[in-house]
């Protein structure tokens, strides 16, 4: 299906499109609720609203809290969207009886509008989707022309910030695009990665820059929009300097799978991220060498993968940003994970936990580990505290930032990056240490 890029790029988390849909939904609610105030309707309307909300919340409770179908915490805002949608649909259903034909027709159309509005609200609040392209699993970004980006310049000795002056006419923001990373060593069925090039990297004679490799949550897909927004602000304050970000697919397939960031279960995800991805980056982009300039980062599933990769490959990743990461591989329960993911091998499962991998790799001589989470993000917040403590005990230089009033969502991601980059900029030589 050939969908125009402008349509795929329409934001569903903010902006005029989403507000237009919400206003239409509110208008339908007003049309459906305003009727001749008979005693029957004055009783039916509030019962329909309350009943619809309660049924929606009951279904959510059963699927999420009892059966754990989604294998992920559900944000308060998500539950509110579900309740509001259920209430509105309940009102529409009540209008299908004892009403004129035109009101029945309005009610049918209203149900579709309420469902759309609720679905977009849930997708936005949970961070699953930010635009139409995310909903359709179609990339908004166009392929990135990397033919001119291969290493072609050498930085002066010392920190780049000390010798760098932004040239006239340099772009003021970064650019994004997709790249295909060959799975030469792993054979892993990864989707295309998405790259963020900061302003300085867009110059004909771009300097060598540090690298951040980012992994999404599960379900999820490569995405640099949150990091790019944060880095554009940092670049504006530092003469266009920022790291090159490559958001890679550690999930494979359609993003619903969970290969556990190990080799063997649903593909060689570990080898893909730690062998194929670095080889492609070093060959394709003008990047600084050495682990101090290479950062592995992730959110939720990706955050758990990031800290475990940093523990397993300290010679590659000198920095790690773990935002609301998992304690270890997780398919829903330890028993299920051991049976399906590790073929019944309890020792292999135990050794794959972040705490165990950190202890096994200790002491870490030169690794910066930055953790972030939200105050409303249990059980992930407890996991972040636990893994952060384990990283500190293993010798990593650790920082833990807790975002007030946020949960397992994009606000926590933004908070994490906004607090991680000020720590890493001096280490990368992109800012003075004074």
Q: Which helix (H) or strand (E) holds 369?
A: strand 368-374
Coil vs helix vs strand at 314: coil
CATH label of the domain that carries residue 370: 3.40.50.1820
Please indicate, yes or no, if residue 131 is contained in any of the structural domains.
no
Segment 258-267, tens digit of pLDDT: 999 999 988 9
- Give the integer Cα–Cα distance in Å for 417 and 293: 16
Instruction: Give the pLDDT confidence score for residue 150 in this predicted structure.
Output: 64
Instruction: Give the pLDDT confidence score for residue 138 in this predicted structure.
Output: 72
Please indicate, yes or no, if residue 133 is contained in any of the structural domains.
no
For 366, phi and psi rounded to 5 degrees? Answer: -155, 65
Same domain, 118 and 147: no
Same domain, 54 and 170: no
Same domain, 232 and 170: yes
Coil vs helix vs strand at 61: helix
Please indicate, yes or no, if residue 132 is contained in any of the structural domains.
no
- pLDDT band, very low/low/confident/very high, at 142 (cuts 50, 70, 90): confident
Instruction: Give the pLDDT confidence score for residue 299 in this predicted structure.
Output: 94
Same domain, 107 and 219: no
Q: Residue 242 pLDDT more than 70?
A: yes
Q: Residue 345 pLDDT more than 60?
A: yes
Instruction: Give the pLDDT confidence score for residue 233 in this predicted structure.
Output: 92
- Give the integer Cα–Cα distance in Å for 30 and 258: 43
Q: Average pLDDT in the 125-140 region? A: 73
Segment 280-331, tens digit of pLDDT: 999 999 999 999 999 999 999 999 999 999 999 999 999 999 999 999 999 8
Please indicate, yes or no, if residue 346 is contained in any of the structural domains.
yes
Q: Residue 1 pLDDT more than 60?
A: no
Q: Which residues of 170-188 are buried (b: 16+ CB within 10 A; e: fewer)?
A: eeebbbbbbbebebeebeb
Instruction: Give the pLDDT confidence score for residue 198 in this predicted structure.
Output: 95
Query: Residues 315, 244: contact at Cβ < 8 Å?
Result: no
Full-model pTM: 0.84
- Which of 139, 175, 192 is CA-nearest to residue 5? 139
Name the least confident of 30-39, 91-100, 425-434: 425-434
CB atoms within 10 A of CB 129: 22
Query: Residues 127, 412: contact at Cβ < 8 Å?
Result: no
Mean pLDDT across the chain, nearest whole number? 91
Query: Which of 95, 126, 157 delimits the end of a domain?
Result: 126
Please indicate, yes or no, if residue 156 is contained in any of the structural domains.
yes
Q: Average pLDDT in the 93-98 region? A: 91
CA-CA-CA-CA dihedral for 172, 174, 177, 183, to nearest 10: 150
Same domain, 286 and 399: yes
Give me the number of domains the chain comprises: 2
Q: Residue 66 pLDDT more than 90?
A: no
Kindly report the length of the chain.
434
Same domain, 217 and 344: yes
> In which domain, by residue range, is 379 found?
143-428
Same domain, 151 and 64: no
Same domain, 119 and 202: no
Please indicate, yes or no, if residue 433 is contained in any of the structural domains.
no
Instruction: Give the pLDDT confidence score for residue 72 in this predicted structure.
Output: 63
Please indicate, yes or no, if residue 409 is contained in any of the structural domains.
yes
Q: Residue 400 pLDDT more than 80?
A: yes
CB atoms within 10 A of CB 432: 11
Same domain, 108 and 174: no
Query: Residues 264, 222: contact at Cβ < 8 Å?
Result: no
Q: Residue 254 pLDDT more than 70?
A: yes
Residue 122 or residue 15, greater confidence:
122
Same domain, 253 and 351: yes
Instruction: Give the pLDDT confidence score for residue 303 in this predicted structure.
Output: 97
Residue 200 or residue 142, greater confidence:
200
Name the least confident of 38-47, 255-264, 393-402: 255-264
Please indicate, yes or no, if residue 135 is contained in any of the structural domains.
no
| DSSP secondary structure letter of residue 209 | B
- Which of 338, 71, 380 is CA-nearest to residue 219? 71
- Give the integer Cα–Cα distance in Å for 425 and 239: 13
Same domain, 289 and 362: yes
Same domain, 74 and 151: no
Q: Average pLDDT in the 407-426 region? A: 92
Locate all alpha helices (DSSP H) within 151-191, ordered by sequence.
160-163
9 bridge partner residues: none
393 bridge partner residues: none
- Give the integer Cα–Cα distance in Å for 131 and 252: 21
Q: Which helix (H) or strand (E) holds 371?
A: strand 368-374
């Amino acid at each position: 299906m050939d969908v125009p890029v402008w349509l795929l790029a329409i934001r569903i988390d903010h902006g005029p499109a989403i507000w237009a849909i919400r206003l239409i939904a509110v208008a339908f609610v007003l049309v459906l609720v305003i009727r001749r105030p008979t005693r029957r309707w004055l009783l039916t309307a509030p019962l329909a609203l309350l009943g619809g909300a309660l049924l929606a919340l009951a279904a959510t409770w059963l699927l999420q809290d009892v059966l754990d179908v989604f294998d992920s915490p559900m944000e308060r805002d998500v539950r509110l969207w579900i309740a509001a949608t259920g209430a509105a649909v309940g009102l529409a259903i009540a209008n299908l009886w004892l009403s004129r034909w035109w009101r029945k027709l309005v009610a049918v159309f209203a149900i579709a509008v309420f469902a759309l509005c609720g679905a977009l609200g849930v997708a936005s609040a949970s961070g699953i989707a930010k635009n139409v392209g995310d909903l359709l699993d179609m990339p908004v970004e166009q392929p990135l022309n990397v033919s001119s980006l291969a290493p072609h310049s050498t930085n002066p000795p010392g920190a780049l910030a000390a010798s760098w002056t932004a040239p006239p006419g340099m772009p003021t923001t970064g650019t994004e695009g997709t790249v295909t990373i060959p799975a030469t060593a792993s054979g892993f069925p990864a989707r295309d990665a998405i790259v963020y090039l900061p302003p300085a990297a867009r110059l004909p004679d771009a300097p060598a820059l540090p690298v951040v490799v980012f992994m999404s949550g599960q379900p999820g897909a490569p995405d640099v929009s949150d990091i790019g927004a944060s880095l554009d602000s940092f670049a504006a304050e530092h003469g266009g300097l920022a790291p090159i970000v490559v958001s890679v697919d550690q999930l494979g397939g359609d993003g619903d799978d969970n290969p556990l960031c190990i080799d063997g279960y649903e593909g060689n995800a570990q080898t893909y991220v730690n062998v194929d991805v670095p080889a492609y980056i070093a060959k394709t982009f003008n990047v600084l060498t050495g682990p101090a300039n290479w950062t592995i980062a992730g959110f939720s599933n990706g955050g758990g993968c990031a800290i475990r990769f940093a523990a397993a490959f300290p010679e590659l990743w000198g920095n790690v940003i773990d935002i609301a990461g998992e304690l270890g591989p997780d398919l829903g329960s330890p028993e299920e994970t051991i049976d399906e993911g590790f073929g019944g091998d309890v020792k292999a499962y135990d050794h794959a936990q972040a705490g165990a991998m950190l202890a096994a790799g200790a002491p870490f001589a030169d690794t910066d580990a930055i953790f972030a989470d939200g105050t409303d993000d249990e059980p992930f917040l407890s996991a972040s505290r636990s893994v952060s403590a384990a990283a500190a005990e293993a010798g990593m230089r650790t920082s833990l930032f807790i975002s007030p009033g946020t949960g397992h969502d994009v606000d926590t991601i933004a908070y994490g990056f906004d607090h991680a980059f000020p720590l890493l900029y001096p280490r990368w030589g992109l800012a003075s240490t004074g």
